[in-house]
A and B are shown apart, each in its own frame.
Chain A
Amino acid sequence: MTELQRLREAFRSALDLPADEPVDELRYQDNEKWDSLAHMSLVAAVEDEFSVMIDTDDVINMSSFAEAVRILGKYGVDVK
């Protein structure tokens, strides 16, 4: 699996979305599944998947799938 596929999977599993649900355009709280409680599960899922530890500021800034891609770049994970 590519990094992009792995990130999509992490989003779907943390947010309890169907396997074929497109997530690339997802934004925090635009989808009802992505609320503040799910956000902590999502952060944990992304951390586990890519073996990184995300700082507080980045947890707060991770407000969309695209932001997650950008933030992971800071931690040396090239998502594409």
Chain B
Amino acid sequence: MSVFTLSQASKEEQLVKELSALTEHHRARCEPYDRILSASGFTSASSIADLPWLPVRLFKTLELKCIPDDEVFKVLTSSGTTGDVSRIHLDKAAAAEQQRRLAATVQTVLGSKRLPMLLVDTKAMLKDRRSFSARGAGVLGMSTFGRDHVWALDHDGEVDLGAIRGFLDKHGDQPFLIFGFTFLVWLHLYEVALAHGLDLSNGILIHSGGWKKLIDQAVSPEEFRDRLRRVGLTRVHNYYGMVEQIGTIFLEGPNGGSLYCPDFADVVVRDPETWAELPPGEPGLLEVVSTLPTSYPGHVLLTEDLGVVHGIDDGDWPGKRFSVLGRLPRAEARGCSDTYRGAA
């Protein structure tokens, strides 16, 4: 079952309704959010792009939640580049729902069976089980979709060739899942597989974590896919997501080159100076919308990432397809959150 089914027109119709209702829900329960919206003069939205967005970094400076303290089930934190930390409050319902939607999204490419799983990371990262890094939380969340987990890196973060070989001897002749951060996959799996002639042709790779380090090494997303093909890895899905919209990931389609929005989410690319929505082909600031944030007002967020919509209803799956181009330089991003801080 896929969660990539809605054409852009159907999605627009459905999400405007649901997200407008969420906006009202949050306004009634989150006073700072209501003040921000009142100051912005927002009344109603007739399109997704009309919905009032919050700069994502607002979750680092304000406690924004729509549930009473005694219903807070989990507080997720993410450390950003600034050192500030976003705090995302989930109640039980929101925590369960985000996990279910993430599962439904990933199952679109993995199916319902859990596959043997090679984690391109080190178990040492989970040592302090009370405070995982964002990387640890990502690995742990994804490990639900696998079984017979094997870590490709040892406790010192060095490649554990014996473990990888052992995994492939046992599971390499049937579909298996590989998960890791993009840069680690490149450095510790691709290069090792190439050097040692490992066969990854039954693997399905899911990876995330940004391209910056790879671009520094002059490896583009296209080249990443091309080179992985040389070690037999043809089923490759990058994804984009953030803790401030936990459970929502934008997943690369089977043919690569674009990220797609699940039925309960969408993206809007905005001109960083006028905030106007930009048409396909024009890069700008990426806004992400999702119906999953029910316990905090994170359903419409302006990120600090640059992105571009490549096309609409013209790819592997319906809806918008897009790429993330990298971070907006910090000075520019500060402008937008200052606007809102002033309003708040």
Which among A36, A47, A55, A60 has the greatest number of chain B C-beta atoms within 10 A? A36
Secondary structure at chain A's binding surface: helix, strand, loop or mixed? helix
Q: Give the number of chain B interface residues (Cβ < 8 Å).
A: 20
CA distance A53 to B112 in the complex (A): 11
Q: Beyond A53-B113, A53-B147, A54-B114, is A60–B103 a contact (Cβ under 8 Å)?
A: yes
Residues of B within 8 A of A59 (CB): 114, 144
Is B248 positioned at the interface, with any CB of A under 8 Å from its CB?
A: no
CA distance A46 to B106 in the complex (A): 23
Taking Cβ atoms with an 8 Å cutoff, the residues of B that contact A are 73, 96, 99-100, 103, 106-107, 110, 112-114, 126, 129, 140-141, 143-145, 147, 149
Q: Could you give, for residues 43-62 of chain A, a 1 whenever the CB lies within 8 Å of some chain B CB and a 0 otherwise? A: 11001000001111101100
Residues of B within 8 A of A1 (CB): none
Secondary structure at chain B's binding surface: helix, strand, loop or mixed? helix
Residues of A within 8 A of B112 (CB): 55-57
A-B contact pairs, 22 of them (CB 8 A): A35-B129, A36-B140, A37-B140, A40-B144, A40-B149, A44-B147, A53-B113, A54-B114, A55-B113, A55-B114, A56-B103, A56-B107, A56-B114, A56-B144, A56-B145, A57-B100, A57-B103, A57-B112, A59-B144, A60-B99, A60-B100, A60-B103
Residues of A within 8 A of B100 (CB): 57, 60
CA distance A55 to B111 in the complex (A): 9
Taking Cβ atoms with an 8 Å cutoff, the residues of A that contact B are 29, 35-37, 40, 43-44, 47, 53-57, 59-60, 63
Which among B100, B144, B149 has the greatest number of chain A C-beta atoms within 10 A? B144
